[in-house]
């Protein structure tokens, strides 16, 4: 497997507070990385560095071997799916308009291609076509999350960034959505970075788990190794109920 995303000596500070300290990380293509850690550990910051919503002070990030600072941020983001907390949809757009948002930015007037992408992704996330004309507030929470995923994926990116996307739904819906995202990842072979503070969710989803604490990497490994071989007391404490 080739390296998809490489973090080299990444550091970031807000004022005099260090958010990320010397992060070095290699993520292979097709991996599902669950990023786990307590609030304020820097996991959301790490995610937002990838699509340049935030900037870093030191180091570099490579995607497919290319420094992300060399590409235009807008082009970069259009090739990286992005689903945030609660998968916030645009309330003034129909479901169809929401899903086709990024393709329409890319395809311009090629409406047919956009429409085909919408149908394809609607099917993949398991939603009925009858919902296309509805508005977000007419959908249930679970349906909204699915639309959020379809929207993030609609332009067929090969990286998907997700920041606690399932935090706003009930337990049963979350389980369904987790199954769904695992299936989608297998079908598409997309590389996913998934931020969560829920250990169980991370264990369920991640092919690898990245545990952050105070801006540093505590451990980066497959779930089994983390459970059998926790690298620190912090991790032992974190996984003690698993």
Binding site for other proteins (CB under 8 A): 48, 51, 53, 74-80, 82, 84-86, 88, 90-92, 101-102, 105, 133, 135, 151-152, 161
Q: How far is CA 178 from CA 86, 87, 101, 136, 143, in A?
A: 14, 14, 24, 21, 13
Between 135 and 234, whose beta carbon lies closer to other proteins?
135
Reduce the DSSP state of residue 221 to 3 states and report it. Answer: strand
Between 103 and 230, whose beta carbon lies closer to other proteins?
103
**CA 205/CA 31 separation, integer angstroms:** 10
Between 39 and 228, whose beta carbon lies closer to other proteins?
39
Contact 99, 177 (CB under 8 A): no
Report, in Å, the least distance between residue 222 CB and other proteins: 29
**Taking the CA of residue 120 as centre, how many other CA atoms within 13 Å lie in the half-sphere pointing to its CB?**
15
DSSP 67: E
Report, in Å, the least distance between residue 39 CB and other proteins: 17
Between 85 and 216, whose beta carbon lies closer to other proteins?
85
Reduce the DSSP state of residue 28 to 3 states and report it. Answer: strand
Report, in Å, the least distance between residue 26 CB and other proteins: 24
Report, in Å, the least distance between residue 78 CB and other proteins: 3
Report, in Å, the least distance between residue 220 CB and other proteins: 24
**CA 94/CA 28 separation, integer angstroms:** 36
């Amino acid at each position: 497997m080739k390296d998809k995303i490489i973090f080299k000596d990444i550091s970031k500070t807000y004022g005099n507070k260090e958010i990320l300290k010397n992060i070095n990380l290699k993520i292979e293509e097709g991996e599902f990385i669950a990023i786990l850690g307590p609030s304020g550990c820097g996991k959301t910051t790490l995610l937002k560095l990838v699509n340049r919503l935030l900037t870093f002070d030191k180091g570099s990030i490579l995607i497919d071997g290319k420094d992300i600072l060399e590409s235009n941020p807008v082009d970069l983001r259009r090739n990286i799916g992005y689903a945030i907390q609660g998968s916030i949809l645009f309330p003034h757009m129909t479901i169809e308009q929401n899903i086709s948002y990024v393709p329409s930015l890319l395809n311009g007037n090629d409406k047919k291609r956009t429409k085909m992408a919408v149908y394809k992704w609607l099917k993949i996330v398991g939603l009925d076509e009858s919902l296309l004309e509805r508005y977000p507030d007419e959908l249930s929470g679970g349906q909204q999350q699915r639309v959020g995923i379809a929207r993030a994926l609609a332009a067929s990116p090969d990286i998907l960034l997700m920041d606690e996307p399932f935090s706003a739904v009930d337990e049963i819906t979350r389980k369904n959505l987790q199954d769904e995202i695992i299936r989608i990842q297998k079908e598409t072979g997309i590389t996913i970075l998934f931020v969560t503070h829920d250990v169980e969710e991370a264990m369920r989803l991640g092919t690898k788990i990245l545990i952050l604490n105070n801006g540093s990497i505590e451990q980066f490994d497959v779930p089994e190794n983390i459970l059998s071989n926790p690298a620190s007391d912090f991790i032992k404490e974190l996984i003690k109920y698993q």
